[in-house]
Amino acid sequence: MGSAPHVFISLGANVGDREANLLAARRGLEARGFRVTAMSSLYLTEPVDAPPQEWFLNAVAGGETALSPEALLQACLETEREMGRVRDVPRGPRTIDLDLLLYASEVRDAPGLVLPHPRMHERRFVLVPLAEIAPAARHPILGLTAAEMLRRCPDRSQVMLPERSRPR
């Protein structure tokens, strides 16, 4: 049995074959040094704070890495680029969106990298899958677990399990 995941990355897609995109992103992260030890179900989620667009498939991957937070962020950005992520419309449709949520108990506030993710505690599409795989994962600033943040989350957007939701 491996150690508990201490790094969590949110995965989301609403363009193309969403499930295939999430699985390809997982493989891309693993190829760049992020060892996935836990993967949530895939959730169908409505877009939040975004222009009208297709619903997303979202998941959270937990794992371990020898990469620094900065290097892991670069691995996320490289994976997005490799998969054709275009950032022409703010919060617009995307083939893949990878967000570094938690990196152990690290707290950072630097240009391009804020840890923990500054809005994770306000987003059900992040908290539902995070609480599924790591309900005791603790936010290093708020001091709340993923399960506690989910219970307190003001977001009421829809997050549901589609018929086939377990990643292969």
Q: Is 152 a catalytic residue?
A: no
b/e burial code for range 48-87 (CB count within 10 A of at least 16 → b): beeeeeeebbbbbbbbbbebebeebbebbeebbeebebee
| Catalytic residue (choose from 18, 26, 85, 123) | 85
| Catalytic residue (choose from 32, 99, 138, 155) | 99
| Catalytic residue (choose from 18, 26, 94, 123) | 94
Q: Is 97 a catalytic residue?
A: yes
Contacts of 35 (CB under 8 A, 6+ apart): 63, 64, 65
Q: Is 94 a catalytic residue?
A: yes
- Give 120-123 contacts, CB < 8 A, sequence gap 24+: 120/10, 120/149, 121/149, 121/152, 121/153, 122/153, 122/154, 122/155, 123/48, 123/153, 123/155
| Catalytic residue (choose from 18, 26, 97, 124) | 97
Q: Is 35 a catalytic residue?
A: no
Among all residues, which ones are annotated catalytic? Answer: 85, 94, 97, 99
